[in-house]
Structure 1
Amino acid sequence: MTDLTDPVSIGGVEVPNRLYRAPVLECAGTDERTADILADELEPTAESGVGLVFQGASIVTPEGGCAAPNMTRVHDPAFVAGLERVTEAIHAHEGKVFVQLAHGGLRSMSTWHAEYRQRNPEERQLAVSRPPWQLRALDRAGLVSLSPRVLSTDEVYDLAEQFGRCAGYAVDAGYDGIHLSAANMSLIQQFLSPFYNRRDDEFGDGPSDPPGSGGVRFLEAIHDAIREYAGDVPLVTKVPAETVAPGFVRRHLSFADGVRIAARLDEVGYDALVPVEVSTFWDMSIVRGAFPDRAWAASDLQSAYAAVFGGRLRARAVELLNRLQARRFDHEPGWNADFCRAVRNRVDVPVLLEGGLKTRAHCDRYLGEDGAANLVGMARPFYAEPRLGTRLLTGHDALCERCNNCTIPQVAGKPGRCRTPSVVRARGRLEAEGAYERNISDGDGTDGERRE
């Protein structure tokens, strides 16, 4: 039986245990403060014993592509070199850190963020194909603003090469691996998805190709570029199955499509896979759980929401949609487990499971007799407890209530942090009791001298 504290290898990099911090928004920006913000955010996680830390989605282009405010860009080698402060901080605690590379495509802020669009009126979204009619209808209704620029074949190759260059910068700065954002309506998912991808070149699905084939060819081009610029660095990607797409979306990636794509990426040479069941849109399928009443009602955020969504009425409309979606999506712990299990039965590389996990029992179940995954990860629970690893690795459970009050303020550029008083108070009590002080031991984290 695999235990959470057992080591594991990803692409030749030895990770000290099976627990990872899944990529989330750090809202660290791209300036002289970024390295300090990222180190302050991520080092406590490594210090608490978490074996693998994923730095959240970092944009590979010098403009556009940000799906939320204050995302970090990694196109500039001089800037990325300064992030060595982050990798050194994590390595000091024997942890490993991978950076997630991303581009938002049609999910970019110029589509949905009214204030950003006013500041950047000429910006156009990179598009795989002409946007689907559903998005064009929202554009005509004034709910989003589409100004797409469909990538030519040469531009697709250029973009793949840009992913490779950024991976090379990251490796030079000490990052141990690369993670690709290929879900949550990212540009890579848009290449994989038949809902978005109607291309008629080699990056589209031909008449005899199964869904997602063109996107796999894009991921193959990214793989080859990363190998050219960054060598044999471990390469991980999310693999989407669009099983929770709305009923009006007829063309999407099925469960079987996702398994087939995962098997093909294993053959291409990806070193680990993160299967996720998602929608075709950026919606509550990403952060399932309770409707975030407290965050939407926060008096200090009302003007910010109005600026983001183009007025108070539109902000209220988004809030209502958020409320409806919170009821729609199943949020049982480990909601990606069935998909992970099916993928694990088809591939020879590690499979990573995330989605609603918050207890040690969940971790043990999916690593053990259930056999769904080789590693298990959490995201929002680390907003509530940055040093959560100490407690999870010694058999305790996360405090996170999956209330989502940490996520909605991020559309207004606020940092990810727990805003639920009962959870904040509970963490304070645990801190006072010394519950986050890590033990130095010979492997299981339960005995030995305390690290102050």
Structure 2
Amino acid sequence: MTDLLPPKIDLLTQPLHLMNGGVIRNRLAKAATSETLATYANNPTPNLVRLYQRWASTGIGLIITGNVMIDRRALGEPGNVVIEDEIDLPVLQQWARAATDQGAAIFVQLNHPGKQSTKGLNASNLAPSAVPFSQEMSTLFETPREATDAEIRDIIRRFGRSAGICKKAGFSGVQIHGAHGYLINQFLSPHHNRRTDEWGGTAEKRRRFLLAVYTEIRKEVGPDFPIAVKLNSADFQRGGFTEEESLATVQALVNAGIDLVEISGGTYETGVAKPQKASTLAREAYFIEFAEKVRALVKVPLMVTGGFRSAAGMNAALRSGAVDVVGIARLMVIDPDVPARLLRGLDSKQCGATIWMRDARQAA
């Protein structure tokens, strides 16, 4: 692990060995971003191929796609790619090769929005329970209907089917989106999941859906194909998913065989809770304190996204031993060449100093 390396090594450049034996060439990852570059019918396009070729050319180790949906009836936003059959396999293969031909690993982030889809986008929205959004959000999001047991089991099968197609297309792995208020996060949250059947009622039953999704994907892709998960450290919502439940969920996933855990937090309703203390901002990573709690519990590789600005800050997080992969998203959109600079120990020319000054003002 990273804490065994000599102190002068640039940890960003070191390869990462996953739990299943796979290797990512360095510790820098593009976290999921939703490009909405699909067709009106939600098919992938050559625009995605060109974009990911551009990102992979920078030397980055891992690229995670954003918001690829498993069901055309359940979109998170217009322009989402949907993978539910093999009709787009040739373009999916080109998309995968856009990264892998240049040495980068590429994971497809698989998602189902549940209730978190704006009015009018889908014929109807389902969720674990028929819990409305907050009053401020209710003008944009309708109250969902409660999913039936049959619908839940169909969604689980769809996650597995989509993952199998991703493997066939040549992608390096998949990431289960279990964060940010989407369907899996809704099942985990006692606020959104008020069921009393096998899918809710206790923390163990609330995480059963996520574990069933993982198990179905593993059945479809086999033991050697990496499966990652994006998980909230907490929802930051009264009555929602807590740090204690998140830690227990990570432990359950590790016991099941997950290969990589990305830590995040917040939902559409709460937003991402950004640190305000100057001491926390100095460490850059928003969720590093929670990552330290996870690291004390498990040895699975951990990815943290949010707040990173400098090569020094990224290396410090890796040096702590609590972080194994540094995720960047907004920084890579603003400055698509930044991975090449960071891997040489240099900061972004575009926004490093500006972000530092802005965050310092917010912390004051």
Please state which band the TM-score falls in when normalised by the shorter chain.
0.7 to 0.9
* Residue of structure 2 equivalent to 1:130: 130
1:284 aligns with 2:292: no
The answer for unaligned runs of 5 or more in structure 1 is 111-116, 290-325, 405-452
What is the CA deviation profile of residues 131-161 of structure 1, one whole-angstrom value per residue up to 9, with x for unaligned ones?
15xx27557xx62342523111222111111
CA contact (8 A) 1:167 1:230 kept: yes
* Residue of structure 1 equivalent to 2:327: 377
* Residue of structure 1 equivalent to 2:174: 178
Q: Alpha-carbon deviation of 1:162? A: 0.4
CA contact (8 A) 1:124 1:147 kept: no
SS of equivalent to 1:73: coil
Q: Distance in 2 between matches of 1:32 and 1:69?
A: 8
The correspondence for 1:341, drawn from 276, 292, 296, is 292
Change (3 A) 1:383 1:270: same
Q: Which moved more, 1:75-84 or 1:24-33?
A: 24-33
Q: Alpha-carbon deviation of 1:80? A: 3.9
Specify the code of the residue in structure 1 equivalent to 2:17: S
CA contact (8 A) 1:275 1:343 kept: no
CA contact (8 A) 2:130 2:143 kept: no
* Residue of structure 1 equivalent to 2:162: 166
* Residue of structure 2 equivalent to 1:18: 27
Number of residue equivalences: 340
1:51 aligns with 2:39: no
What is the CA deviation profile of residues 88-114 of structure 1, one whole-angstrom value per residue up to 9, with x for unaligned ones?
12112111100000011111122xxxx
1:223 aligns with 2:214: yes
1:77 aligns with 2:86: yes
* Residue of structure 2 equivalent to 1:242: 234
1:262 aligns with 2:212: no
The correspondence for 2:263, drawn from 256, 275, 297, is 275
Specify the code of the residue in structure 1 equivalent to 2:15: P
Change (3 A) 1:215 1:9: farther
The answer for unaligned runs of 5 or more in structure 2 is 6-10, 356-364
Q: Distance in 1 between matches of 2:290 and 2:264?
A: 7
Q: Distance in 2 between matches of 1:87 and 1:353?
A: 23
SS of equivalent to 1:98: strand
What is the CA deviation profile of residues 196-225 of structure 1, one whole-angstrom value per residue up to 9, with x for unaligned ones?
01111111033xxxx3x2332111111121
SS of equivalent to 1:181: strand
Q: Distance in 2 between matches of 1:145 and 1:107?
A: 7
* Residue of structure 1 equivalent to 2:101: 92
CA contact (8 A) 1:188 1:215 kept: no
SS of equivalent to 2:87: helix
SS of equivalent to 1:163: helix
Q: Distance in 1 between matches of 2:317 and 2:199?
A: 35
Q: Distance in 2 between matches of 1:84 and 1:75?
A: 15
The correspondence for 2:311, drawn from 337, 351, 360, is 360
Query: Highest Rg: 1 or 2?
Result: 1
Change (3 A) 1:33 1:163: closer
Q: Distance in 2 between matches of 1:103 and 1:403?
A: 35
* Residue of structure 2 equivalent to 1:350: 301
* Residue of structure 1 equivalent to 2:360: none
Q: Percent identity?
A: 27
